[in-house]
């Protein structure tokens, strides 16, 4: 059983690109909108 999903390009291993990491870790626009209302 595959549990880790698909590999993603995050711009490096130790010094990653924050924009790429954000796009990979928070891919859902709907969920991001809900989180932004809770965090505010």
Per-residue pLDDT of 1-40, as tens digits, reads 567 788 899 999 999 999 999 888 888 999 889 988 987 5
pTM: 0.60
Buried b / exposed e across 12-33, counting CB within 10 Å, b at 16+?
Answer: eeeeeeeeeeeeeeeeeeeeee
Report the distance separating Cα 2 and Cα 5, nearest Å: 7
Report the distance separating Cα 18 and Cα 24, nearest Å: 10
Give Cα separations from 2 to 5, 10, 34, 35 (angstroms): 7, 21, 29, 28
Q: What is the pLDDT of residue 2?
A: 66
């Amino acid at each position: 059983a595959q549990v880790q999903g698909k590999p993603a390009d995050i711009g490096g291993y130790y010094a990653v690109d924050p924009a790429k990491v954000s796009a990979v870790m928070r891919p859902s626009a709907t969920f991001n909108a809900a989180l932004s209302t809770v965090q505010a």
